[in-house]
Structure 1
């Protein structure tokens, strides 16, 4: 089963983004731990919510049991503090899949639709006896950190920034993608794609999606070729 470590608000307008930091941390963690994925989750964009560019959070997925939650939390926290950006408001939260409750999942879903508070995020962590901290600034990142874990644990939101040990960028054959852990490839009209090539700009990440607990890639046909569709 999986441990999820949520991160949010780690950047400012001039710095690298939270997604980049989460992939960097995943690379470091992979030297010691079985990191299986990094996901991005889009939260509500609203004029009353301070955010840097997109109001998205990142979640690390590590395939370990609940006894490793605190250890992983401290490892990720150290990496975040070592790369702290002035003007950022970072937060970190961690939970094992078996510790996720409907209340945590609902918090994640609510964060996509309504304005939430640090108070509710901190109360959830406290009531579940799970580690949550703000690491600087206003500490508003605790909201996205908790929301991300709830959404990632539900397995039906966002997109993968990384699947496995490396970033997937550019064009791949269907066989390569399936061998890398993609469960299915569909056109946006629902036709399964089982062979051929999936095209993508060379510098762009392949936009894999967690859907119903599976890794899915959606494509569209343009000029006789199947192109990766951007979702999430």
Structure 2
């Protein structure tokens, strides 16, 4: 078994299937191809929004972990075939794959990801770093500009403190808040923990109130439901509070 991170970026266009959905489909295909595999939640990593950077709506990369027996060649073949099938015609998709056990300089990759949140980077910079760190980085249509975000997404995931989990948690979906025990939330969602916006972890026997769009984040190396205090008690974080991730 080997532990991998896989990230894609710039696969969509207005009105087409989103990059997060395509990433989830690749994760599912890997699971199907390798019965012993484990795949993680997909995380969305916000990158720099600038007039010199083409993007569809928010400029974000999508990353997930795969632990399994498939070698790099098989992982790439599966991912590339799906990208070629599902990417929008106007997209500039990039794919990055790294074997974590063979990553020689994690700090350099994390730093690239953090820079991509604050400045305009180039394909040349991405390819140079990927070559230095022996990371598989490739483009699959258009300008291939998505390689920058794909590589950056790997680095941001490795920080352990960046990214929202793709999609919504299927609890408390209505407008009326519903009360849940933390242990029940974790059992029903597969999340690791519940964390408050001030950085505290809630115990299993504490309760939270959930309503509307319930989102999880990647924080301190855990998939966590983010909550903040209001009149009811601990409630799922607001859209504004989630923007930090």
| TM-score bracket relative to the smaller structure | 0.7 to 0.9
Question: More deviation in 18-27 or 47-56?
Answer: 18-27
Q: Is the 8 A contact 1:26 1:35 kept in 2?
A: yes
- Map 1:81-230 to 2 at 5 A: 81-100=84-103, 101=105, 102-161=107-166, 168-171=169-172, 173-179=181-187, 180-190=189-199, 192-194=201-203, 195-201=206-212, 204=213, 206-229=214-237, 230=239
Flag structure 1 segments of 5+ consecutive residues without an equivalent.
none
Q: Is the 8 A contact 1:41 1:157 kept in 2?
A: yes
Structure-2-length-normalised TM-score: 0.82
Q: Superposition RMSD on alpha carbons, in Å?
A: 2.2
Structure 1: how far apart are the matches of 2:111 and 2:199? Answer: 28
Residue 48 of structure 1: aligned partner: 52
- Residues 1:38 and 2:39 aligned together: no
Residue 13 of structure 2: aligned partner: 12
- CA shift for structure 1 position 192: 4.2
Structure 2: how far apart are the matches of 1:24 and 1:190? Answer: 32
- CA shift for structure 1 position 90: 0.4
Post-superposition Cα deviations, 1:101-126, rounded to whole Å, max 9, x if no partner, equal 22211111110111100001111222
Q: Give SS of 1:4's match.
A: strand
Runs of 4+ in 1 over 4 A off after TM superposition: none
Structure 1: how far apart are the matches of 2:61 and 2:3? Answer: 18
Structure 2: how far apart are the matches of 1:28 and 1:12? Answer: 23
Aligned CA distance change for structure 1 residues 113 and 185 (closer, same or farther; 3 Å): same
